[in-house]
Amino acid sequence: MESDEKFFKSANEINGRILEILKVAKKELDSLYNTHQRTSDVRAGLVYKKGLYLPFKSHRILVDGYEAQFLDMFNEFFTEMFSGGENLFKEFAIRTIAEMGLKDSQILYAPDLSEKEKDKFKTIIILADYASLGFNHLGRIVEYKKLLEEQKHLLSPNQLTLFEKMTRCLNTKDYEEHKKLIKKIRKLIGSIRDELYRKTKTPKIFRTENIEVFFSAFSHLIHGNIILLTDLFSPKRPKNRNRLRVTWTLLITGINTLIHVKGFLERKEIKLETGDLFEEFETTSKELAKYWESIEK
């Protein structure tokens, strides 16, 4: 028992350090993107930026500060997964935090993509969210239309046609058409995400093929693969497998996000102190991998 726990103790210490550094990074991003605003100012229709009070544009707040908002949500998700002890149902949430930490963080913070490519990715994600919520929320329809008008230059002719169809659908309140268009837009996001991710470089501490296998396995799990679900709930399942999956996922998504956020901030001439964290990660991940192999025998 004690020998088992030492692997988790080391990994949890690293995950705790990752989270604390990412919280510091979030504060730096808040300063860069002015996303930390006083509620009273926002209610008054103003934002404070570089010593000036400027009109608050609610439809742009997520797009213009997406990097900070994304990291804030990643940190919240990481915290929830990190705490609360062992829970089989955490394995269903692994896919979400993995997509955030291994793909989206790499797209948003890596140097391999142009600002235009990143802006298009962020724009389409936010337009999709506004459109999805807009069917029953007039305010979101207004934000959708304003954002589309301002960002349409980023879209291809076919993409613009798709979003213009959504505009008409939101005006006419055609529920069936809305469902079809949302599905097409979500599919578009997936294809753009995959295209941009392929243009980025995965850190050398990871093997790209292992990352792809990781996503494939969890894709089958969340889509109801009977064999994987049977294994998940089997009383004969190896001890600690659930803890290992969750702990390992947090390690690789956290360290990948940290690597890219650190590089992003350094290109803005902001230094993020990490000490010997990356070296500790490599040592612990190797030990954890050996332990995993031993319980699967």
pLDDT tens digits for range 263-275? 999 999 999 999 9
Residues 18 and 106 in one domain: yes
CB 265 within 8 A of CB 271: yes
Q: What is the pTM of this model?
A: 0.83
- Asked whether residue 4 is assigned to any structural domain, the reply reads no
- Asked whether residue 46 is assigned to any structural domain, the reply reads yes
- Asked whether residue 165 is assigned to any structural domain, the reply reads yes
Task: State the pLDDT at residue 36.
Answer: 53
- Asked whether residue 8 is assigned to any structural domain, the reply reads no
Residues 122 and 254 in one domain: no
Mean pLDDT of 280-290: 84
Q: Which residue has the higher pLDDT, 231 or 217?
A: 231
Residue 123 has a CB neighbour count (10 Å cut-off) of 23
Task: State the pLDDT at residue 237.
Answer: 64
- Asked whether residue 3 is assigned to any structural domain, the reply reads no
pLDDT category of residue 226 using cuts at 50, 70 and 90: low
Tally of structural domains, the chain: 2
CB 101 within 8 A of CB 256: yes
Domain end point (choices 146, 165, 199): 199
Domain end point (choices 172, 199, 226): 199
- Asked whether residue 238 is assigned to any structural domain, the reply reads yes
